Amino acid sequence: MKVSKNRLVVSVLAGIVLVLFFSTMAGLFYYRETVRRLGEVQEENIEKYPRLYAYIADDPDSQLSKRIYKEILDYAQDNGCYVEMTGQNLSTNYSKADRINIAISSKVDGIILEGDESEETAELIEKATDNGIPVVTVLVDCTSSSRKSYIGLNNYSLGAEYGDELAKIASEKMKYPLNALILLDRDDSNSDDIIRTAIQESLKGKRIVLTSNLVDISTPFSSQEDVMTILDSLKEVPDVIICLNDRTSDSVYQCIVDKNLVGKTTVLGYFDSETILKAIDKGSVYATFAIEAEKVAQQCVNALNEYNNTGNVSEYYSSNYILINRENISTYLQEDSDD
C-alpha cells in the first residue's frame, strides 16, 4: 500500500515537472518569436539620418527649452538630420559641461548650445571644434569661443518694448509715478542686464520708477519661493511686475492669485505658456513676450547644415520677440488648442 502511494506521489510530481518544463519551453519559444517579430518591425520603422546633432540647454526641463527642442526636432527630421536633447528627463542631473563632453564623446555632427560667457564653456566649445564638431549658440552667446554661429534675439529691443508697455500701463492707470519691479534671473545677469538697461533708457523723462530683485529659477519651487519672499518683503505692492523668463512668469502669476493681488498689480510676462495665455485672456496678466521658437529652430538647424555642407556660415542670425496681449490672444489660444 505504501509502495502504491509512493508511486502515485512520484507520478504526480513527475507530471508537474513535465508540465512546468513544457510550459517554460513554450514560453521561451513565444518570447523569442515575439522579440524577433518586434525587431523586424522596429528595423522596418527605423529611419536612418546622415547627421546627428545634439541640443544642449541650460535647463533641459524648462518649458522654453522643451518648446525650442520640439521645433528643432521637427524641422531637423524634415531636413535630413536628427537632433537629440542631452540631459532631459534623467534620474541623474548632469551639468551643462558634462552634457557637452557627452556630445563630444558621442562624436555628433554638430552641437546646438544655449551659451554663456564662462571660460569653461568657451574651452569646451574649443574642444568640440578640435574634434571636428561645429557648435552654434542659441539664445545666449559665448563671444570668446570658436562657435560657428550665434542664433540670438535682440534683448535690447525687447527691453525697449517692455518700456513701451510700461508707458501704456501708466497712461491707462493715470498713475504717476508708476512703480515697476523687474525680476532678474540670479544666474543670467548678462542678458537680463541688457534688457534692464534698455528699459531704463526707454523710460527717460517719464515718471516711472524701476526697481529690481533677483530670483533663483533653477527649479519651479525655488522660483516660486523667491517670488513669494520678495512680495512679502515689500511695503507696497508694485504697480507692475516685469518677468524675464518662463519660470518667473508662472511663479508671479501663481503668487498674485494666492495672495489675492489680481487687479492690484499688473504683470508683464515672458514666454507663451498655457498658464500665461489663459491669464491674459482672463485679464490677470497684461501681456507677455514670446520667442519665435519655430524660426529660431530653423535657423539653428540651417546653420549647422550649411556649415557641414560648405564649411562656411553666417556668424549671426537674428529673430524677434512677439508681443501677446488681449488684442491678439484669441489667435494664440486657438493655435495652442490645435497643437
pLDDT one-digit tens code per residue, 92-119: 778 899 999 999 999 999 999 999 889 9
Same domain, 76 and 193: no
| Domain containing residue 199: CATH number | 3.40.50.2300
Same domain, 63 and 164: no
Residue 151's nearest CA partner among 247, 335, 291 is: 291
Residue 129 lies in a domain: yes
Same domain, 120 and 191: no
Residue 318 lies in a domain: no
- pTM for this model (two decimals): 0.79
pLDDT one-digit tens code per residue, 269-279: 999 999 999 99
Range of the domain at 132: 51-147
The three cell numbers locating residue 43: 528595423
* pLDDT tens per residue across all 339 residues of the chain: 444 556 665 666 666 666 665 666 655 555 555 555 555 544 444 567 889 999 999 888 888 999 999 999 999 999 989 999 987 666 677 889 999 999 999 999 999 999 988 999 999 999 999 999 999 999 989 999 999 999 998 889 999 999 999 999 999 988 889 999 999 987 765 788 889 999 999 999 899 999 999 999 888 889 999 999 999 999 899 999 999 999 999 999 999 999 999 989 999 999 999 999 999 999 999 999 999 999 999 999 999 999 999 999 999 999 889 999 999 999 888 766 555
